[in-house]
């Protein structure tokens, strides 16, 4: 899926991601998508692939790949992570 959340407001973004998560659990299938919101990717995805401008990449489990350090490098702007112990969010530092 190429940016399935584009042009959706927040409640519809969450509804779409919850639908995909439910379908993948029930069907035992994989869902591959491009997301530009790291907090939602960290919340709903099990794995991530980050493609950097210099042609390098990093991939693996979301909790290992989606970090403030890797996102700072990816976006070229410092980000910091916050969370509640269960979910993580990223914001400009």
Q: Would you state the pLDDT for residue 85?
A: 87
Going by their DSSP bridges, the two strands 88-92 and 57-61 should be labelled as unpaired
**Which pLDDT does position 6 carry in this prediction?**
96
State if pTM tops 0.85: yes
Nearest CA to 16 out of 27, 31, 28 is that of 31
Tokens standing for residue 41: 């990717």
What tokens were used for 13?
């973004």
What is the per-residue pLDDT for 21?
96
The predicted structure's pLDDT at residue 68: 96
> pLDDT value at position 33?
97
Segments of the chain scoring below 50 in pLDDT = none
Q: Give the pLDDT confidence score for residue 60 in this predicted structure.
A: 98
């Amino acid at each position: 899926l190429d940016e399935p959340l584009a042009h959706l407001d927040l409640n519809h973004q969450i509804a779409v991601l919850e639908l995909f998560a439910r379908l993948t659990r029930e069907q035992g299938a994989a869902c591959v998508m491009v997301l530009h919101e790291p907090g939602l990717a960290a919340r709903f995805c099990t794995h991530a692939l980050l493609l950097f401008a210099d042609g390098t990449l990093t991939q693996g489990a979301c909790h290992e790949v989606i970090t403030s350090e890797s996102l700072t490098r990816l976006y070229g702007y410092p980000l910091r992570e916050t969370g509640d112990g269960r979910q993580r969010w990223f914001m400009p530092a």
